[in-house]
Chains A and B, each alone.
Chain A
Amino acid sequence: MKQIASRITAICAACLVLLLSPAIAQDTPQDDDDVDEVVTFQVDRLRRVAIPEFATPSSVNTPAGNTASLGAQIARVIANDLSGSGLFTPVGPSGVRKIGYAEVRAPQFGYWRGRNAEQLISGAVQARSDGNLIIGCYLYNVNAGSEVTRSGFVVSPREWRRAAHKCADSIYSKLTGEAPFFDSRIAYIAETGPKGARVKRLAIMDSDGANHRFITNGQTTALTPRFSPNYKSILYLSYRDGNPRIYVYDIESKRQRLITQSRNPTFAPRWSPDGQTILYSMAVGGNTDVYKISARGGKSVRLTDAPGIDVGGSFSPDGRRIVFESDRSGSQQVYVMNSDGSGERRISFGGGRYATPAWSPRGDLIAFTRIGGGFRVGVMRTDGSGVRLLTNSWQDEAPTWAPNGRVIQFFRTQKNSGKTSIWQVDLTGRSERKLPTPVSGSDPAWGPVRP
């Protein structure tokens, strides 16, 4: 009986297989066409991108210089942006044949093929009767002989650099798939003077170091600046009255105000993604906790209450979570909690200490400074897995994300001189470069892409 039962069971299973067989057959490769020949290839900086000077139909003088000169400068800004991203090694504009205005929209593909160019960026600058400039740029696939993308802008002459950044952004996005970030600004602390008597001033500049401007005069020490999402104001830490406290500086009116009236030290300020809330840390009687307050003022809300030093990190892009550092376990580690302070959870467990966490604008990663055998900048997933260190110098710290979440800025301190400089690295860790600043720089903070 048992044998019969087992046979019936086997036959039922066979029937089930028969019933399902059409579905199985559909998922089964039908012929050897599905046996892959695999061609592997390497990815590298795009090196065959030619950028001749931008052409002009006729050279016209403008407050920013004549249009012919602007054409050359715009091409240089684009080449510099692309090169600085770590993903391109463009050729030009110097050493590349100048093109005529008619050639901008009708490239001589044969010529560029002969120069081994695979992409061609061409453009033109034209003065309008209303005093503005039309700046247009084109990206061509040389081998295919076709246009890939184009963009055009009407700007006042003093805004020509922004148009160049926008052109570079459109080309960068098209070729890499990443979101743009060149047309953005950076706030940082400009440092001058000897090691023991440093003067630290608040300063701002474009993402490529241009349009540099000091905000404070250095009479009081300034630290940790943060651009508001609309670029209208900057949060920063000032020792104005001898105590470290957080101020909001309005760029247009050049006025500043305290975010809280407390006499306790406040520091580590950060905007929420919508600019409506400010996150900060406050030390009260040897215990430091994370607080938040409305950007318009009002009552602060305490988010952490564990004994020890909890220092506010940053909001997730959706504003629903906060990453911060705490030494409650005995050493600095990274924790995540909900924006109302609930659900605190430690996410870093590797060797060494983890500090200054910053949530990526894309939401997928958290940047940090790892302390232990030096200071190094790295990234981890939001659950703490996938830790990768991106730099390997004596002292790299305080990461800040590019608006596209694919490049990180930080500052590097030289071992003996203590001189600081601002650097950036892409997420592969392969492309690292120093940002040009007129003086030493630290505490960089990257703002969003400008509208």
Chain B
Amino acid sequence: MTMDRAELIGLGAAIGGHALLLALLVFGLLGSEEKIEERQAIAVTLEGEGTPLPVTSQIGEAEPAPEAAVLEEAAAEVDEAAETADSKADEAQAAEADAKRAADTAKAADATAAQKRAAKAAAAKAQRKRKEAAAAEAKRKKAAQEAKRKRQKAARDKTARDKAAREKYDRDMKKALGGSNAPSATAKRKAKATIGGQIRIRGCPPGLEVEKIITRVSINLNKNGSISSLSRVTQSGKTSSNAPQMAPIKRCVLNSIRASAPFRGLKVEDYESWKSIRIAFKVS
């Protein structure tokens, strides 16, 4: 079997292409290693200096400030209402002057019937303008009140956003520095210890190798320290000798937890930290 020239060129091109691809892959992989080193350097910076690089971009400086737009909008509404009220007041004042002039003319020069009608019309127009001016003034006051309400709301929203941003910043900082991303891991640990210290396990019978049994329970709590539910009950440490005691120990642990509630000494402000905690129970 022989190959013609075109086939030889094709084969050569294919081999050359594969060789090139392999070389690219190898050098590409070298490049990957350098990137890993760069990332490690960033990690060292975070741990050593505490620079919150990964979190500053997430805190929200670049986010729009909705309260500014709201305030501008409210101010514009007030300005518009004020402008309307002012122009209406001017118009009313002008109409009033016209009406007065017409009345004076009618009085002073023993006016004709036509002049009297004109004076009467001018007076009616002046009254209408006064009413419009009063309405415009009322609208201006209302717009001012609305603007004030919006300013107050915007201020409240800003406070809440600032608080959330601060908390998020704290969480991100803890995470970046190797801490927990929980709302407050310390508070949770304290709450676990507080609750664990109040649970008295009673009524568990002795048995062979019962000390190997570990029963874990998630205790879900209400804000007043009472139990809303017990969940995720798991047991480990089962042997052929202690197998019969698994169920009685689970039962007495759950009964004892219920009998120990409500739990005291828990801070309501840390509720998010202890509303659901997991505790392990073990025979000493």
Contact = CB atoms under 8 A, between A and B. Distances in A.
Interface stretch (B38-46, B116-124, B149-157, B178-186): B178-186
B207 A39 contact: no
B199 interface: yes
Which of A8, A31, A176 has most chain B Cβ within 10 Å?
A: A176
A119 interface: yes
Contacts of A118: 202-203
Interface string A142-177: 011000000000000000000000000000001111
A40 B212 CA distance: 12
A44 B210 CA distance: 11
A48 B195 CA distance: 24
Nearest to B205: A176
A430 interface: yes
12 contacts: A7-B29, A8-B29, A32-B188, A35-B189, A39-B279, A45-B206, A118-B203, A175-B248, A176-B248, A177-B245, A177-B248, A428-B207
Interface of B: 26, 29-30, 32-33, 180-182, 185, 188-189, 192-193, 195-196, 199-208, 210, 216, 240-241, 244-248, 255-256, 258-259, 276-284
Contacts of A274: none
Given A31-B181, A176-B245, A428-B208, A40 B284 contact: yes
Interface in A33-87: 33-46, 48, 87
A301 interface: no
Contact of A37 (B26, B193, B201, B256): B193
A99 interface: no
Interface in A115-153: 118-119, 141, 143-144
A4 interface: yes
Contact of B185 (A32, A39, A41): A32
A37 B192 contact: yes
B189 to A, nearest CB: 8
Interface in A269-305: none
Contacts of A340: none
A45 B278 CA distance: 28
Given A32-B188, A33-B278, A428-B207, 12 more contacts: A8-B29, A33-B277, A36-B278, A37-B277, A41-B283, A43-B205, A43-B210, A87-B205, A87-B206, A143-B255, A175-B248, A427-B207
A143 to B, nearest CB: 5
Contact of A44 (B206, B208, B247): B206
Interface residues of A, number: 40
A16 B280 CA distance: 35
Contacts of A383: none
A39 B206 CA distance: 17
A64 B195 CA distance: 54
Contacts of A306: none
Interface of A: 4, 7-8, 11, 31-46, 48, 87, 118-119, 141, 143-144, 174-179, 364-365, 406, 426-428, 430
Contacts of A40: 281-284
Contacts of A428: 206-208
Contacts of A144: 255, 258
Contact of B26 (A7, A35, A36, A48): A7
Contacts of A4: 26
B29 A38 contact: no
Nearest to B23: A4
Contact of A43 (B33, B185, B199, B206): B206
B255 A141 contact: yes
A39 B196 contact: yes
A41 B284 CA distance: 5
Contacts, number: 115
A39 B246 CA distance: 17
A11 B26 CA distance: 10
Contact of A177 (B193, B240, B247): B247
A430 B206 contact: yes
A41 B206 contact: no
B26 to A, nearest CB: 6
A333 to B, nearest CB: 24
Contacts of A36: 216, 278-280
Contacts of B185: 32
Contact of B207 (A8, A32, A43, A119): A43
Given A176-B205, A176-B248, A42 B255 contact: no
A364 B205 contact: no
Which of A43, A176, A427 has most chain B Cβ within 10 Å?
A: A43
Contacts of A43: 204-207, 210, 283
B85 to A, nearest CB: 60
Contact of A178 (B29, B182, B207): B207
Contacts of B29: 7-8, 11
A87 B204 CA distance: 10
A37 B192 CA distance: 6
A143 B281 contact: no
B258 A39 contact: no
A46 to B, nearest CB: 6
A41 B207 contact: no
Nearest to A7: B29
A36 B188 CA distance: 11
A119 B180 CA distance: 43
A41 B259 contact: no
Contacts of A37: 189, 192-193, 195-196, 277-280
Given A46-B205, A176-B245, A177-B248, A7 B30 contact: yes
Nearest to A379: B208
B284 A178 contact: no
Contacts of B255: 141, 143-144
A34 B199 CA distance: 19
B201 A41 contact: yes
A46 B32 CA distance: 65
Nearest to A11: B29
Contacts of B240: 364
Nearest to A148: B251
Contacts of A32: 180, 182, 185, 188-189
Contacts of B32: 11
Contacts of A365: 241
A403 to B, nearest CB: 14
A143 B208 CA distance: 27
B249 to A, nearest CB: 8
